[in-house]
Each structure stands twice: as structure tokens, then as C-alpha cells.
Amino acid sequence: MRHFKTALLTLTVLALGAISAERAAAQITLEQATASVDAAEAEARANGWNLTILVADAEGVPIYLRRMDGASSRTYDIVGMKVHTVLTTGGTSGAYGQALAAGTVDTIPGGIWYEGGLPVRVNGELVGAMAASGARGSEDAQVVRAGLAAMGADPVN
């Protein structure tokens, strides 16, 4: 009986270790977030947009935030709401807005329907969200797509 308990405990520890290793492999690193925001900022600068850009993990905890010179202070709140919307729905903030307008989803407390919040998926797994704010929604989304490409995340249509 004692050997059975020891074996069971060993298997449990190994299984938890494997789960932890899998979760660790599916996280956004600071290096990835920085490269992503750098690429997003380059896209914004190339188009003359002053934005706030945020990369957050799957729990919504910010990994990297940058507010470009000239970006409105209000954009800070908006990028956070976009990230919240993405992580709550699993889709883009713009898609949530379309579904909300069509009456096919309920209102998300603290959610926002502006474009520019996109999920960060790696091999199909949701590992975080990235958002930009300060230009038109489609322009914010354009900047985020550039950031996702630099990070090596799955493309978002």
C-alpha cells in the first residue's frame, strides 16, 4: 500500500510538472512583448499615428505598455478595456462590437467595442491580448497586427 501511495504521488508530481512546463511554454515573454510593441510603434510612426500600445498575458496582466508622445491620456484606459474585451470573448474587440450591434451577445462590464484589440494566439492557444488606441479602430488594428507578426503569434483575420 505504501508503494502504491508513493507511486501515485510521484505520478501526480510528474503530471503537475508537465502541466506547468506546458503553461510556461505558452506565455508571452518580456522580450516578445517588447519586440511586438517596437514593431507596432514603427507601424504607427510610419503612418503618423500617436498611440498607446499594450501587451497583456492571458490573465490580463500587463507585460508591456507604451504611450507614444502625443497619445491622449484617455488611450491608456481604452487599451485596457480592449484587452479585457478580447480576453473575455476570445475574439477581437471589433468582432465583439459587431456582435453587440447585432444583438447576439450580452454587454461585457468594462468591455469596449472599438477595433484594435486582438487576441495573441500561439499554435491556436490564447496566451494573451494586444491592443492599441489613438487612431481609427482599423488603424489601431493595423498596428497591432504588425506587432503580432513581430512576436510570431498566429495571424488574426
pLDDT values of the chain reduced to their tens digit, one per residue, 157 residues: 554 344 333 333 334 344 444 444 579 999 999 999 999 999 999 999 999 999 999 999 999 999 999 999 999 999 999 999 999 999 999 999 999 999 999 999 999 999 999 999 999 999 999 999 999 999 999 999 999 999 999 998 7
pLDDT at 152: 94
Residues in Cβ contact with 33 at an 8 Å cutoff, skipping those fewer than 6 apart: 55, 63, 64, 151
- Interatomic CA distance for residues 81 and 87, integer angstroms: 10
pLDDT at 157: 75
pLDDT at 106: 94
| Adjacent-strand bridge partners of 67 | 52
Instruction: Give the number of other Cβ atoms within 10 Å of residue 50's Cβ.
Output: 16
Q: Answer yes or no: are the C-beta atoms of 57 and 128 closer than 8 Å.
A: yes
pLDDT at 1: 53
pLDDT at 26: 76
Q: Pick one of 3.30.450.150, 3.40.50.460, 3.90.1640.10, 1.10.357.10 as the CATH number of 28-151.
A: 3.30.450.150
Residue spans of the domains in the chain: they are: 28-151
